[in-house]
């Protein structure tokens, strides 16, 4: 799940917060792998994102903790966010 809040200072860029609960991923190595994958994808996409605060929250236990699947899910969320934030500007 991705929560976002536009920032008041437009030139400051995007910031990332992570919530990866112990209830969903018991092993620290799995939680750290998920966080590492999310941070890396965010780093690569940060220049494309508007100035906002993003919080990525794991809400369901993944079947397997594979970096490729995690990155694909985050990529889809970021694409959806970019489309949602651009739509009002294009329409008005």
**What's the Cα-to-Cα distance from 79 to each of 36, 42, 69, rounded to whole Å?**
20, 12, 15
pLDDT band at 91 (very low <50, low <70, confident <90, very high): very low
Alpha helices in 1-92 (DSSP H): 28-45, 67-91
> What does the DSSP 8-state code read for residue 54?
E
What pLDDT shows up at residue 77? 87
pTM of the model: 0.79
Q: What gap in Å lies between CA 2 and CA 57, rounded to an integer?
A: 6
Domain boundaries, the chain: 2-91
Four-way CATH pick for 2-91: 3.30.230.10, 3.50.50.60, 3.40.50.970, 3.40.50.1010 = 3.30.230.10
Query: 40-70, pLDDT tens digit by residue?
Result: 999 998 888 888 899 999 888 877 777 778 8
16-45 per-position pLDDT tens digit? 999 999 998 899 998 998 899 899 999 998
């Amino acid at each position: 799940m991705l929560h976002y809040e536009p920032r008041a200072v437009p030139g400051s860029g995007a910031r990332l917060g992570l919530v990866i609960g112990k209830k969903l991923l018991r092993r620290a190595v799995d939680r750290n792998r998920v966080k590492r994958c999310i941070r890396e994808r965010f780093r690569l996409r940060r220049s494309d994102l508007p100035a906002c605060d993003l919080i990525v929250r794991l809400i369901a236990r993944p079947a397997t903790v594979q970096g490729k699947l995690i990155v694909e899910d985050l990529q889809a969320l970021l694409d959806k966010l970019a489309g949602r934030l651009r739509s009002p500007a294009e329409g008005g």
